[in-house]
């Protein structure tokens, strides 16, 4: 398959089951809602070392938020429910409770509930007040700028992590420009995040390492500087490869995000140095969700 001069490899991205939640952060203005959201989703690129994968889904208008203020929807993904609950509570307590004018609300409905502000209320040292509105419990926690309003719980749902595709280009600037175009398009798709910095990862990995202490190491088959030293997957003239990783609430959500992202790369095409689109997989051994590139782009 070739789109605008770009070869779409006959391969698939491999993803795995995760647990996920969404929270809504509001503040006096969009600037401070975004500051809290950026802090809450920091150091959350990969479960390999961060404990979770988190990112900003989108900004919300006052008409879309529970308290009628500007807001930001954030999503957090983890390998299990216990880890997800811990990451959510720690990040909310350290990054949202502390952020001026912030409030925190559930962003997803589910029969499975996990604490959002349920335990953060204890910061109020006994001065906190509970309110039940329309069947939902909220906590008002006194803080020095007024009060921190938080919903007690949010929903936990099953999700998918690790959807991905690789952009192979003639140069580093061309690979990055293509990924930037892809991320801009993918951020319009709901229910997904791209957890790496700016949505792009240059240090794609493979499972295992020559060093026993490491569970993952550089994907040498796609490293341009190692063409003569390893079994390379790179075509002649390819000097840069970058990867986009996607987490989503469903396989269909990731399908949609991959489709628009790959299309944005192909729209730049061979004329802008884009050679191929590939994907990272481990022979189907890593996870049960397979995203076949040519099927997605058919």
Q: Give the pLDDT confidence of 70-105 residue by residue, as tens digits.
A: 999 999 999 999 999 999 999 999 999 999 999 999
Within the chain, all domains assigned CATH 3.30.70.520 are found at: 2-14+159-297, 19-157
Using the predicted structure, report yes or no on whether residue 283 has a pLDDT greater than 90: no
pTM for this entry: 0.95
Do 112 and 155 form a contact (C-beta atoms < 8 A)?
A: yes
Q: Note the pLDDT of residue 286.
A: 79
Could you say which architecture CATH assigns to the domain 2-14+159-297? 2-Layer Sandwich (3.30)
Please, is 221 exposed, middle or buried when counting C-beta atoms within 10 Å of its C-beta (0-12, 13-18, 19+)?
Answer: middle
pLDDT for 20-48, tens place per residue? 999 999 999 999 999 999 999 999 999 98
Q: Looking at the domain covering 19-157, what would its CATH class be? A: alpha beta
């Amino acid at each position: 398959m070739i789109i605008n001069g770009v070869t779409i490899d006959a391969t698939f991205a491999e993803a795995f089951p995760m647990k996920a939640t969404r929270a809504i952060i509001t503040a006096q203005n969009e600037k401070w809602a975004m500051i809290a959201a950026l802090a809450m989703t920091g150091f959350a690129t990969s479960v390999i070392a961060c404990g979770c994968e988190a990112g900003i889904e989108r900004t919300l208008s006052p008409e879309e938020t529970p308290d009628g203020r500007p807001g930001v929807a954030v999503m957090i993904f983890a390998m299990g429910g216990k880890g997800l609950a811990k990451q959510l509570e720690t990040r909310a307590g350290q990054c949202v409770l502390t952020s001026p004018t912030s409030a925190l609300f559930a962003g997803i409905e589910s029969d499975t509930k996990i604490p959002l502000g349920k335990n953060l209320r204890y910061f109020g040292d006994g001065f906190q007040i509970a309110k039940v509105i329309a069947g939902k419990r909220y906590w008002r926690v006194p803080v020095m700028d007024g009060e921190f309003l938080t919903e007690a719980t949010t929903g936990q749902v099953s999700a998918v992590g690790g959807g991905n595709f690789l952009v192979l280009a003639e140069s580093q600037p061309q690979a990055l420009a293509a990924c930037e175009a892809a991320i801009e398009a993918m951020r319009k798709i709901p229910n997904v995040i791209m957890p790496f910095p700016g949505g792009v990862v240059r240090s794609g990995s493979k499972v295992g390492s020559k060093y026993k202490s490491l569970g993952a190491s550089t994907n040498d088959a796609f490293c341009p500087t190692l063409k003569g030293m390893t079994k390379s997957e790179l075509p002649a003239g390819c000097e840069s490869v970058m990867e986009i990783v996607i987490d989503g609430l469903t396989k269909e959500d990731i399908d949609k995000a991959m489709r628009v992202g790959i299309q944005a790369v192909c729209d730049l095409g061979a004329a802008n140095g884009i050679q191929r689109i590939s994907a990272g997989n481990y022979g189907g051994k890593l996870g049960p969700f397979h995203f076949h590139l040519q099927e997605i782009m058919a």
